[in-house]
Chains A and B, each alone.
Chain A
Amino acid sequence: MSTPYLELRGLGKSYDGRTRALDNVSLTAAKGEFITFLGPSGSGKTTTLMLVAGFESASEGDILIEGRSIGRVPPHKRGIGVVFQNYALFPHRTAAENVAFPLLMRKMPKAQAMAKAAEMLGLVGLERFGGRYPREMSGGQQQRVALARALVFDPALLLLDEPLGALDKNLREQMQIEIKAVQRRLGVTTIFVTHDQSEAMAMSDRIVVFDGGRIQQVGAPLDIYRYPSSSFVARFVGDSNILAARLTDPAGGQAEIAGIGTVRVPALPAARAGDAIELLLRPECLKPGSGLDNAARLTVDVIVHFGDSALVTGHAGGTPLRARLEGLAAQGISAGDTLPLSWATSSSHVIGRDAAG
């Protein structure tokens, strides 16, 4: 196998010598890839980013770019662009001067640096804002300046540390698209840190899910959504029903769920009859009616309408269940109703076992 563009090799970090903030984090990334570190706070995603940027040093392991170790290189010689959560624009410099800063630090003549900065500001849609100070700009504009500043010197890597956290919802969605577009256009390998799973789903080529200082799962967004490797990942990425079941026929794909009865599950030839499993059923995979492979009767406790969809919460027998129905199909349903639902076996997933499709 050829040398990966970026490689994290067994990274570990301990601040006090006893507790581990990060444990054996290994990952490779291809040139131009957009990778998202997703996890709750304290999961190690930001610590990993700090190690890659060089603001903290790893207790164990190494970081390589194109096969060369940068583990001992100080941050100002790594050539890695970073966008911070609070943007970290220099308040005493204009937008253009902020963007020119990395070029001036690289001894580019001032006129040339300012010209390149103006060009970069144009790329993020701020060609007329070069003379403004950060305090005179909106959050979204500051965000774009920070992005331009981190990209203007052709960094080996772009790191984004929860950059959209401070923006309101509409602006955040717009910035997701813009960041993605600029990233693709420049082809820069990017690591994006967030705790927002929908942001991760929307932007990434691959998602790395962190928890407890370790990588829990790495994969394409839809693969992680459909085939989570643990109930933590299943709960953290998307809405979920996780049903406790007992295999009755592993090879034939049959299991028993309390309150629902016998259901079909993806075949697990390696498992044994009687094994306890966790079956993941995404709420939107439950359809009204009984036309699909498996059926359940849901007693509705609460229904919340969102217009385009409705979330029905209730139980089937003793098993709590959530279903997301299309808005029109959910019209007329109210608490206390009993609803026939069904799902396709292929839309369910046995957590922690190799997916059979």
Chain B
Amino acid sequence: MRGLLLSLGAVVLAFIAAPLLIVVPMSFSSAASLEFPPPGWTTAYYGAFFGDARWTQPTINSILIALAVAVLTMAMVTPATFALVRHRFAGKSTINLLLMLPLAVPHIVIAIGYYAYLSDLRLLQTFPGVILAHTALSVPMAFLVLSASLKGFDRSLERAAMSLGASPAATFRHVTLPVLWPGFAAAALFAFIQSFDETVVALFVSGRDSMTLPRKMFDSIRTTADPVIAVVSTLLFFTVAALVILPMLWRSFSRSRS
């Protein structure tokens, strides 16, 4: 029984973790195309990635777009979350549904919709176009994360601050914001990552000057399929993993220290 469970666990691990990790050895491969196991080892393709503007420019584009998406998402989601969590008003459930809609609609449908919509607005293949489309996709996740932390927020903290002489603005600055800070950070991080690795919509609405990294990878695998893709995948994997894991480590570290 125990052996069976162990081997089942190994199989699950092999199918979930192996595809994630197989790109790491492939990125050091000396082969001309993607193959596993690698015939030999070199770091040459890392040099090829960092030295080639056709790769570095989409990387910079993706980072800029994801940053803008995170900022825009938080600017819209923050007031929306406070309104939806703390107040009752007519049409509240409809608005809630609208906010969550991008999660339910298939990305390809959204992509086609934005393709038609942005071309009418002459925003197709521009930075603002990609940013708008990605923000729409990021809003539901950011809203879910932020509303979960806001629901768990004890409002008697705000009442206490007010009774102690803090004006509403001072209460938000000294109590609400610092206490909810991890929730805000997590929501912004999710928005950033969502945009950074989004591919389907980017395929449709990004263009030559606004090309994102996932789109460049997609184009590249159809044409050359060299180990640079494995290099990018490896870098992406460790960057995103670090973004998610480092805050957790930092929090548990600061907790254990104090």
Contacts and interface: CB of A to CB of B under 8 A. Distances in A.
B178 A102 contact: no
B184 to A, nearest CB: 14
B159 interface: yes
A82 B165 CA distance: 11
A interface, size bucket: 20 to 34
A101 to B, nearest CB: 6
A76 B166 contact: yes
B197 to A, nearest CB: 32
Interface stretch (A85-93, A228-236, A347-355): A85-93
A164 to B, nearest CB: 16
B166 A88 contact: no
B193 to A, nearest CB: 26
A320 interface: no
Interface residues of B, number: 20
B112 interface: no
A74 B163 CA distance: 9
A105 interface: yes
Interface string B145-180: 000000000101101111111111011001100110
B258 interface: yes
A205 B258 CA distance: 43
B84 to A, nearest CB: 21
A80 interface: yes
Interface of B: 154, 156-157, 159-168, 170-171, 174-175, 178-179, 258
21 contacts: A53-B159, A54-B162, A74-B162, A76-B162, A76-B164, A76-B170, A79-B165, A84-B156, A85-B156, A86-B154, A88-B154, A88-B156, A89-B160, A90-B174, A90-B179, A92-B178, A101-B164, A101-B166, A101-B174, A105-B165, A150-B164
Given A84-B160, A105-B170, 17 more contacts: A55-B162, A76-B167, A80-B163, A81-B164, A82-B159, A84-B156, A88-B157, A88-B160, A90-B178, A92-B179, A101-B174, A105-B165, A133-B258, A136-B258, A149-B164, A150-B164, A153-B164
